[in-house]
Structure 1
Amino acid sequence: MTVSFHKFGEYFPGTGHILDDGYGKGKYYAVNVPLNDGIDDESYHYLFKPIIAKVMEVFNPDAVVLQCGADSLSGDRLGCFNLSVKGHAECVRYLRSFNVPLMLLGGGGYTLRNVARCWCYETGVALHVEVNDKMPDHEYLGYYGPDYNIHVATSNMENKNSRKSLDDIKAKILDNLSKLQHAPSVQFQEWPTDMELDEEDENQEETNEDLNSDTDKLP
């Protein structure tokens, strides 16, 4: 299953429409979440969390590959979104909460110092380490002035994603996902150690011997 949250429109014409949802046996296994300019942390999470939660429920993946493209950060040279580093990283944190194997990849991002900020912070999130906002001294420190911080302020750009448009997108995608057959759930259990297995085999052999002995005594 693929899930994509992206800028929709002139950037990649003809792709990523909400109605592009898979074909044939793959129907509803392609989830496209088209967004407009200026989306902020709150609006992004308003869609991201319930959609991902539903995907995890119905698809029940063995592993997740998360591409952490940073062109959605505020101030990107090409991107048109308005996410903060913490807001971007919250998506990583949320997926970590499902406790399934998770691989993090890079991706887009065209204001390079902010890409570095973001991926540094998200590496910390992946490792359950809160990265200090103030950067330590290093050879590239000059690129991060004048504040030398991990986190940068978002802009005041207009959020062109209305609550109604977000609700419409969420309702459509959740409805599509509800049409999928739920993946069977398997209850996790601890496997016995080799020593325990050996003891079980010995006990079973003794039981078999007792049964055979009793059988010999039958008339």
Structure 2
Amino acid sequence: MGICSFLEQVTLRVVCHSKEIGEREGKYYAINVPLKDGIDDASFTRLFKTIIAKVVETYLPGVIVLQCGADSLAGDRLGCFNLSIEGHSECVKFVKKFNLPLLVTGGGGYTKENVARCWTVETGVLLDTELPNEIPDNEYIKYFSPDYTLKTQNGNIENLNSKSYLSTIKVQVLESLRCIQHAPSVQMQEVPPDFYIPDFDEDEQNPDERVGQHTQDKQIQRDDEYYDGDNDNDHNMDDGL
């Protein structure tokens, strides 16, 4: 999803059911997108952009933590998707465009040469640097044979994610987001981050204006909080002090 004083946490991950949306006070604060085997770049990035754009609009996060697991790439030893590195990194580009404080971490990945490729390309994306596709000679070059290139191609696993299935998942997720927008106890508003420091010099302020009106009002005692004694001494004596 601290850098801000109030941060809504959003989890977008591949799980078994889209109805896993959190419980109790955390209800609707988890968004899960269950994807079937073989999803490709076009389907994945389209769904990712639609959901993440709505997430940011709804939660107004002060910071985003993006985990770039590489096990969703085609050819991963344990993965089952058809994503290329270009499709994977397109999601990083999209999140970066929100221009919010962004912490990017690694994640899963069980074909080590593709993990290295992925994180290299996406580091370039974060630094607005276009990297050449040809990998220069280095002591680990043998791992990148036979083509010695940085970017990978799509896989050829059958895509079991039909358009109707992805549409259903999208509708369910967007409906969950609408629920939190209308929850009576939740008022979403943008909050300045903790590192924000107002641009003023306290020494130059009028001493009578340094304490805000709201703070002054909080210091006023209510009439029913006073004791019946004539002065503080009477009050103390009554308490046996």
TM-score normalised by the chain length of structure 2 = 0.74
- Structure 1 segments, 4+ long, off by >3 Å, are 185-194
Q: CA deviation at 1:3?
A: 2.2
Asked whether the equivalents of residues 81 and 155 of structure 2 are also in contact (C-alpha less than 8 Å), the reply is no
Residues of 1 paired with 2:12 and 2:78: CA distance?
Answer: 18
Identify which range, 59-68 or 151-160, moves more after superposition: 151-160
Q: Which residue of 2 aligns with 1:211?
A: none
CA-CA distance at 1:186 after TM superposition: 6.0
Cα deviation, residue 21, structure 1:
0.7
Cα deviation per residue 1:119-170 (whole Å; 9 max; x = unaligned)? Answer: 0000111111111111112111111111111112212221110000000000
Match of 1:185 in 2: 190
Counterpart of 1:43, as a letter, is S
For residues 187 and 114 of structure 1, what CA distance do their matches in structure 2 show?
Answer: 39
The answer as to whether partners of 1:71 and 1:79 remain within 8 angstroms in 2 is yes
CA distance in 1, matches of 2:179, 2:158: 35
Query: In structure 2, what is the Cα distance between the partners aligned to 1:124 and 1:30?
Result: 29
Moved more, 27-36 or 152-161: 152-161
- Structure 1 counterpart of 2:103, which letter? M
Kindly state the Cα deviation for residue 192 of structure 1 after the two structures are TM-superposed: 3.5
Residue 183 of structure 1, CA deviation: 2.0
Partner of 1:102: 102
Q: Secondary structure at the match of 1:42?
A: helix
Name the aligned partner's letter for residue 190 of structure 2.
Answer: S
1:104 counterpart letter in structure 2: V
SS at match of 1:34: coil
2:236 alignment counterpart: none
Which has the larger strand fraction?
1
Residue in 1 that maps onto 2:160: 160
- Mapped to 1, the partners of 2:63 and 2:192 lie a distance apart of 17
State the Cα distance separating 1:46 from its structure 2 match. 1.9
Contact conserved, 2:54 with 2:174, CA < 8 A, in 1? yes
Letter in 2 for 1:184: Q
Q: Does 1:5 align with 2:10?
A: no
Tell me the C-alpha RMSD between the 2 structures. 2.1
**Partner-residue secondary structure (3-state), 2:109:** coil
Once the two structures are superposed, the pairs formed by residues 91-170 of structure 1 within 5 Å of their partners are: 91-170=91-170
Q: Give 3-state SS (helix, strand or coil) of 1:70's partner.
A: coil
Q: SS state of the match for residue 150, structure 1? A: coil
CA distance in structure 2 between the partners assigned to 1:170 and 1:3 by the alignment: 15
Per-residue deviation at 1:4? 2.5
The answer for the alignment partner of 1:217 in structure 2 is none
Structure 1 unaligned spans of 5+: 9-15, 206-219
Question: Which secondary structure state, in structure 1, belongs to the residue aligned with residue 33 of structure 2?
Answer: strand
Residue 45 of structure 2 corresponds to: 45
SS, match of residue 61 in structure 2? coil
Larger Rg: 2
Q: Deviations over 1:99-134 (max 9, x none)?
A: 111111111111110010000000111111111111
- Structure having the higher helix fraction is 1
Q: What letter corresponds to residue 63 of structure 1 in structure 2?
A: V
Q: 1:5, 1:35 within 8 Å by CA — same for their partners in 2?
A: no
